[in-house]
Amino acid sequence: MTSVLATASKLACDPLTMAHRILLVEDDRDLAELARIHLEDQGYQVEVVHDGHVARRRTEEGGFDLVLLDLMLPGLDGLEICKRMRARGDYTPLLILTARTSEVDRILGLELGADEYLAKPVGFRELVARVRAILRRVEDYQRASAGTEHIVHGGLTLDLGRREVRVHGKVVNLTAKEFDLMAHFAANPGRVYTRKELLDQVWGYRFDGYEHTVNSHINRLRSKIEDDPTRPRWILTVWGVGYKLGDGVEA
């Protein structure tokens, strides 16, 4: 225990961590306690729960800047908690923390709206780094959007504060990650992004081998914003390269 805590104390505190509240949902009490110690050593405020039903209630009550969520929980599993959060429009950053490392679990967690996925056994230095990176991205996004509440591109309008998208005046309901993708494209219209670039810049972490996660999000975006998803006018494919935002006119 002493050597573990000594390692944590060497991680320099960052002003970014101050006042951030984290909900840690983990049924392994020893792991949860070690993770709590490492995160609090960095200045985060951490609340720990060990049961899925309690976690569901606490996420509904809100007030957290980040949720660290195990998948295998008593009462209610983590994927269901994730699904319910995103379904009710809760865009709190979510880091899945689990021993379930199959490709299906990873893809399902990411496509339900998780921001990152960290497999057990957990390296606490990496955990702290991931947490800091997620929260820094949130703050960077908030600073970038502070002076630009709206992005207008042809018939496309994004309200960054309300996280709302309108196409020709009609509101389109998007998931958290779909909105992040749309905002990224709209902030850089015409620029072509590879799948790996989108994983890095929107998901914030290189999920090697999971470029098809981008494809599935693009397909869902098109099904919501395009008149004819088979002939897209907004999210265009640049064959052999990636995707870019079109003007909504030319197919």
Condensed to tens digits (0 to 9), the pLDDT of residues 15-40 reads 444 579 999 999 999 999 999 999 99
Q: Which helix (H) or strand (E) holds 158?
A: strand 156-159
**Residue 16 DSSP code:** G
Rg (CA), the chain: 19
pLDDT tens digit string along 45-102? 999 999 999 999 999 999 999 999 998 899 998 889 988 998 887 888 889 887 765 6
Tokens of 18: 């101050």
In whole angstroms, give the CA distance from residue 136 to residue 162.
20
Is the pTM value of this prediction over 0.85? Answer: no
Alpha-helical segments (H) within the chain: 2-9, 29-41, 52-61, 78-87, 103-111, 124-146, 176-187, 195-198, 211-225
Residue at token pair 């897209």: 232
Checking if the pLDDT of 251 tops 60, the result is: no
CA distances 113 to 86, 116, 187, 228, Å, are 7, 9, 21, 25
Average pLDDT, the chain: 82
For each of the domains in the chain, give its residue range(s) and CATH number, in order of start: 2-143 (3.40.50.2300), 147-245 (1.10.10.10)
Sign of CA dihedral 22, 136, 199, 102: negative
Q: Are 167 and 156 in contact (CB under 8 A)?
A: yes
pLDDT tens digit string along 172-195? 988 777 888 898 898 888 899 998
Checking if the pLDDT of 108 tops 80, the result is: no
